[in-house]
Structure 1
Amino acid sequence: MTLVSPSRASRLALHWPHWLSLPMMLGLLIVGFWAIMTVAAPLVAPYDPLDLVGRRLQAPSWEHWLGTDALGRDVLSRTLHGAVHSLPLAVMVVALSVLIGATLGALSGYLGGWVGAVIMRLVDVTLSFPPMLLAMAVAASLGPGLGNAAIAMVIVWWPVYARLMRAQVLEVREREHVEAAVASGATRPRVLIRHILPLCWTPVLVSATMDLGQVILLAASLSFIGLGATPPTPEWGSMISDGASQFYSWWVALGPGLAILTIVLGFNFIGDGLHDYFDPRSE
């Protein structure tokens, strides 16, 4: 066995990216695993998530690693298939929220005047409601279903990015290179798109990465109270709701609970790593 000399070990540590820490790598592994499950769950899961494959409320065994639920469906298979619904939903919600919020926030910060005032008053009104309460109200008015839950979550989340992007634009537009672009005769859209926005995306990217986990939690919460996924969809929140009614059959909620816990931690680890990567003070 060849030992690495102290000098070589120190050189490796010196050239190792400071942001690629153990939590960051762990987060990438966790999120990568669940991302693979969104595609490979039908191939990896031992049973169909909707089939009745065993006795109802059967405890974990070699045949059913996480047991069965109240209808005799395999909990492990349903947990793996839950990623097919939860992860794409979170990505779609965050992407739409960033698109809408960042666009309106950039216009508010750059144009100012009555346009900025109207946008920010709309942001203030939306943020004045507790996020969970607003999402519940919108989802209840639209009816249960993952699509309606996604709309409710976009309505809740876009103001966060609007306010964040506006703050970045207000700071960047005062820099010298922007003043030089304006003095050279560049049009206002060109100044915004070419000289301001490229310097405003770092906080938005870090926030969006962390919010992916929070969106999964909110989607699970809506499904838990019956405003998200509809039966028999194998969605993590609805599975935990089923487990809550079977208190002594702890395994029914164990699988989806661990899935939510790990993927939220994974996104938080990645967000922290991205923050360290983009933050010059962490060098």
Structure 2
Amino acid sequence: MTSRRVRRWAGAGLLTMALALLLAPRLASRPAGERVGAPFQAPGPGLPLGTDHLGRDVWSQVLHDAGATIGVPLLATAVLVGVATVAGLLLGSVPDRVARPVAALLDVLVVVPPLVLVLVVVAGAGGGAVGVVLAVVVSGVGILTRVVAAATRQVSVAGHVEVARGYGASAARVLVDEVLPRIARTVIAESGLRLVAAVQVVAALGFLGVASGTGRSWATAIRDGAVGMSLNGWAVAGPCLALAVVLVALTVLVDLLRDGAG
């Protein structure tokens, strides 16, 4: 079996587990928030991972928290990809004298440490879902726009694009019909990277307690469970493993997409 096939099978298996986690609330054996025992109770019958700091079933809480953990990063990535794709197409199609100043502004966003940029945006916009989405967009729009713009410039000099222009197609029509389909794989692959980064950013914000408006997530469960690790380590290990599975699955998917785009 070739290494490429191994990666595909591994990706399929990990993605299956990740999808199971996304659909997890339907698999939970207990309602969200139900207290079933003492805080940080060790695993036992009916409690495969024990209880958390409030005496709730850790296994069920991990399943219920999957939606908030993945949903907000997915929304943020969708907004980011939409904004950066449009901006990149425009930036890659305008003359250099116009593109250079805009690219310089984007470079400022790229060189600022992402966590610093995210914390500044969240502090200004609030820790709700809107603030977190805005933080992810601002932290990623610089690099993704530059990638899309570079791909656009490369495709814009191709023969089929010149032919379309020769037939009188408008600039917008050329971008949508001739350029966008040919950079789609690159955009999709880079979008996967942005999704991985978004999951990490939202998890970091949740762990730091500055994204309280996004609801409970695996990151908040890790933070709350840390005080009782000596009593029930699974209160932290459970959400940690779930987060790791999703991140690894997404990373494998990105690797496959980048292979396809290459």
Fold shared, TM-score > 0.5 on shorter chain: yes
Q: Does 1:236 align with 2:218?
A: yes
* Partner residue in 2 for 1:158: 141
Please tell me whether Structure 1 or Structure 2 has the larger radius of gyration of its CA atoms.
1
Alignment deviations for residues 83-118 of structure 1 (CA, whole Å, 9 cap, x no partner)? 111222222111111110111111011023554244
* Partner residue in 2 for 1:32: 16
* Partner residue in 2 for 1:52: 35
Structure 2 counterpart SS, 1:100: helix
Instruction: Report the CA distance between 1:72 and its aligned residue.
Output: 0.4
**Separation in 2, partners of 1:75, 1:230:** 22
Structure 1 counterpart SS, 2:142: helix
**Separation in 2, partners of 1:68, 1:156:** 36
Structure 1 counterpart SS, 2:75: helix
* Partner residue in 1 for 2:240: 257
Q: Do 2:24 and 2:63's aligned partners in 1 also have CA atoms closer than 8 Å?
A: no
Please say which of residues 245-254 and 165-174 is displaced more in the overlay.
245-254
Structure 1's 62 and 230: CA in aligned 2 closer, same or farther, altered over 3 A? farther
Of the candidates 69, 72, 75, which is equivalent to residue 52 of structure 2? 69
Mapping for residues 176-187 of structure 1, pairs under 5 Å: 176-187=159-170
Q: Does 1:269 align with 2:252?
A: yes
Q: Does 1:246 align with 2:231?
A: no
Structure 1's 148 and 166: CA in aligned 2 closer, same or farther, altered over 3 A? same
Please say which of residues 180-189 and 90-99 is displaced more in the overlay.
180-189
Instruction: Report the CA distance between 1:185 and its aligned residue.
Output: 2.1
Q: Do 1:217 and 1:260's aligned partners in 2 also have CA atoms closer than 8 Å?
A: no
Q: Do 2:17 and 2:245's aligned partners in 1 also have CA atoms closer than 8 Å?
A: no
How high is the sequence identity, in percent, across the aligned residues?
A: 28
User: Over aligned residues, Cα RMSD in angstroms?
Assistant: 2.2
Count of residues in Structure 1 that have an aligned counterpart in Structure 2: 261
Q: Do 2:218 and 2:240's aligned partners in 1 also have CA atoms closer than 8 Å?
A: yes
Q: What TM-score, normalized to structure 1? A: 0.84
Give the AA of the match of 2:175: L
Instruction: Report the CA distance between 1:161 and its aligned residue.
Output: 1.4
**Separation in 1, partners of 2:34, 2:205:** 25
Of the candidates 97, 106, 123, which is equivalent to residue 140 of structure 1? 123
Q: Do 1:49 and 1:234's aligned partners in 2 also have CA atoms closer than 8 Å?
A: no
Q: Do 2:50 and 2:234's aligned partners in 1 also have CA atoms closer than 8 Å?
A: yes
Structure 1 residue runs without a partner (length 5+):
1-12
Mapping for residues 13-28 of structure 1, pairs under 5 Å: 21-28=5-12
Mapping for residues 74-89 of structure 1, pairs under 5 Å: 74-89=57-72
Q: What TM-score, normalized to structure 2? A: 0.91
Q: Do 1:236 and 1:256's aligned partners in 2 also have CA atoms closer than 8 Å?
A: yes
Instruction: Report the CA distance between 1:179 and its aligned residue.
Output: 1.8
Structure 2 residue runs without a partner (length 5+):
none
* Partner residue in 1 for 2:183: 200
Mapping for residues 101-140 of structure 1, pairs under 5 Å: 101-113=84-96, 115-140=98-123
Instruction: Report the CA distance between 1:183 and its aligned residue.
Output: 2.2
